[in-house]
């Protein structure tokens, strides 16, 4: 367990305060870890992915004997990850590990509250680095746009996890505003055509379609309307990957991690949260409501009282007269 430190001066106190949980979180820092053996391909992949992730990235230059999926040996599995996460205030890991059985493996690890939330391993099959494309590159630190193409990203649990993981990795920061000229590049993740035999139960990695990760820079051309026309230029890196091992998130922990802060009164008035019927805010900022009245019972409507219109039952005296 990491020692809890009491800050001794104002500077370290500020640092520790910045690490405290926040309502709107900062961007997740990723640590790039090399396993016992990484080939040339993996080194290139990790270097380029780090270039995309920068500045919220930390690189571990030394080799580490780490096997996150190997739960039998706890000393080399997740405990070191948790230690590093605490030390560096990071909540994402990218572990590169290449061996004969699983060549060019990349393991994405996502943390929650200093513990491992879920893990995902992909094998890199094809890789073209950023330097191989002689095209303009994006500025480090700019937010990418993300594009996912395939119906499996909405239906298949493995690909849903992949989508969520990659979004956390590249784009997981909530921002209220973005500078439009600052939008420079796209990370596009697309799948091979879905094989007809695939369903959610068949989980063998061979039957899962390939994943293509491409990065492009954006050129905006004028279209005569307010919305510009988009042209893409390959930027690199481009990766072709297959899904391998994975570990889904613990249900209880995921529930904790998906908790949202309570909505502010102002946000509720803007129409967030629970759906509110019959209420709207008009242009002046006033809250206006519509009230619905049920159907009126017209038979009980009080009209003008006249002697002749009165029912017989209402005048018992008269009825007794007629009956006798």
Partner 1 sequence: MDVSNILASHAAKYQSVTVEKETSLDVDVGYLTVVDPNPIDEDSYKSNLEEHLQSLARDGIQSLLSSLFTLPTKSSDDGPLAQLPPPKIQLPRAKPLPKPKPPTKWEQFAAAKGIQKKRKDRKEWDEERQEWVNRWGKDGKNKQTEEQWITEVPLNADVDYDPRKVAREERKARVAKNEKQRQGNLARAQGPSSSVADTNPREQRKKEITKSLSSARISTASMGRFDKKLEGEKKIRGVKRKFDANEQPVEHEKNASLALLSKMESDAKKTRAAPPSGDGVVNVRKAVRFASKGQGGIALGRESSGGSTKRKQGAKRR
Residue 230 near partner 1 by CB under 8 A = yes
Considering only residues 16, 192, 198, 242, which one is a binding residue for partner 1 as defined by CB under 8 A?
192
Query: CB burial class (10 A; 0-12, 13-18, 19+) of residue 118?
Result: buried
Considering only residues 40, 65, 70, 231, which one is a binding residue for partner 1 as defined by CB under 8 A?
231
Residue whose CB is less far from partner 1, 60 or 148: 148
Q: What is the CA radius of gyration of the chain?
A: 31
Q: According to CB under 8 A, which residues from 31 to 90 bind partner 1?
A: none
Q: How many CA atoms lie within 13 A of 55 on its CB side?
A: 4
Considering only residues 25, 40, 203, 280, which one is a binding residue for partner 1 as defined by CB under 8 A?
25
Contact in structure between 109 and 93 (CB atoms under 8 Å): yes
Buried b / exposed e over 262-277, threshold 16 CB at 10 Å, is eeeeeeeeeeeeeeee
Give min distance, CB of 19 to partner 1, in A.
Answer: 9
Q: According to CB under 8 A, which residues from 291 to 320 bind partner 1?
A: none
What residues have CB less than 8 Å from 68, skipping those under 6 apart? 77, 78, 81, 93, 95, 107, 109, 116, 119
Q: According to CB under 8 A, which residues from 264 to 283 bind partner 1?
A: 272
Q: According to CB under 8 A, which residues from 96 to 125 bind partner 1?
A: 110-113, 117
Give min distance, CB of 285 to partner 1, in A.
Answer: 15
Give min distance, CB of 67 to partner 1, in A.
Answer: 23
Number of residues that bind partner 1 (CB under 8 A): 71
Of 58-66, 96-104, 229-237, 302-310, the window that binds partner 1 (rule: CB under 8 A) is 229-237
What does the DSSP assignment read for 83-106?
HHHHHHT--EEEEEE--SSSTTEE
For 106, phi then psi, to 5°, come to -120, 125
Residue whose CB is less far from partner 1, 97 or 235: 235
Q: How many CA atoms lie within 13 A of 186 on its CB side?
A: 16
Residue whose CB is less far from partner 1, 72 or 227: 227
Give min distance, CB of 155 to partner 1, in A.
Answer: 9
Q: According to CB under 8 A, which residues from 121 to 150 bind partner 1?
A: 143-150
Residue whose CB is less far from partner 1, 80 or 171: 171
Contact in structure between 71 and 7 (CB atoms under 8 Å): no
Residue whose CB is less far from partner 1, 113 or 203: 113
Q: According to CB under 8 A, which residues from 206 to 225 bind partner 1?
A: 212, 214, 216, 218, 220, 223-225
d(CA 31, CA 89): 10
Considering only residues 45, 49, 52, 186, which one is a binding residue for partner 1 as defined by CB under 8 A?
186
State CA 245 to chain mean position distance: 21
Residues, the chain: 324
Residue whose CB is less far from partner 1, 180 or 284: 180
Give min distance, CB of 21 to partner 1, in A.
Answer: 4
**To 10 degrees, what angle do helices 40-53 and 157-171 make?**
60
Residue whose CB is less far from partner 1, 107 or 111: 111
Q: According to CB under 8 A, which residues from 156 to 185 bind partner 1?
A: 163-164, 167-168, 171-172, 174-183
């Amino acid at each position: 367990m990491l020692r809890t430190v009491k800050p001794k001066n104002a500077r370290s106190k500020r640092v520790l305060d910045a690490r405290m949980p926040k309502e709107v979180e900062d961007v997740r820092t990723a640590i790039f870890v090399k396993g016992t053996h990484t080939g040339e391909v993996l080194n290139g992949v990790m270097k380029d992915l780090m270039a995309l992730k920068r500045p919220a990235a930390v690189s571990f230059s030394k080799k580490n004997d780490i096997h996150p999926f190997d739960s039998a040996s706890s000393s080399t599995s997740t405990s070191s990850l948790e230690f590093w996460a605490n030390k560096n205030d990071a909540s994402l890991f990218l572990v590169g590990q290449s061996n004969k059985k699983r060549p060019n493996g990349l393991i994405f690890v996502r943390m929650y509250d200093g513990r491992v939330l879920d893990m995902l391993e992909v094998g890199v099959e094809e890789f073209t680095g950023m330097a191989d494309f002689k095209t303009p590159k994006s500025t480090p630190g700019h937010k990418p746009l993300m594009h996912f193409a395939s119906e499996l990203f909405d239906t298949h649990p493995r690909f849903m996890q992949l989508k969520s993981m990659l979004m956390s990795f590249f784009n997981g920061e909530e921002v209220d505003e973005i500078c439009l000229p600052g939008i420079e590049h796209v990370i596009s993740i697309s799948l091979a055509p879905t094989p007809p035999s695939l369903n959610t139960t068949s989980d063998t990695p061979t039957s899962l379609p390939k994943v293509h990760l491409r990065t492009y820079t954006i050129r905006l051309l004028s279209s005569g309307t307010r919305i510009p026309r988009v042209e893409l230029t390959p930027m690199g890196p481009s990766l072709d990957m297959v899904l391998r091992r994975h570990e889904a998130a613990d249900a209880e922990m995921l529930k904790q991690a998906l908790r949202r802060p309570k909505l502010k009164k102002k946000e509720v008035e803007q129409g967030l949260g629970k759906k509110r019927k019959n209420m709207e805010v008009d242009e002046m900022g006033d809250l206006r409501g519509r009230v619905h009245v049920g159907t009126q019972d017209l038979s009980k409507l009080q009209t003008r009282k006249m002697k002749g219109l009165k029912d017989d039952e209402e005048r018992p005296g008269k009825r007794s007269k007629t009956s006798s």
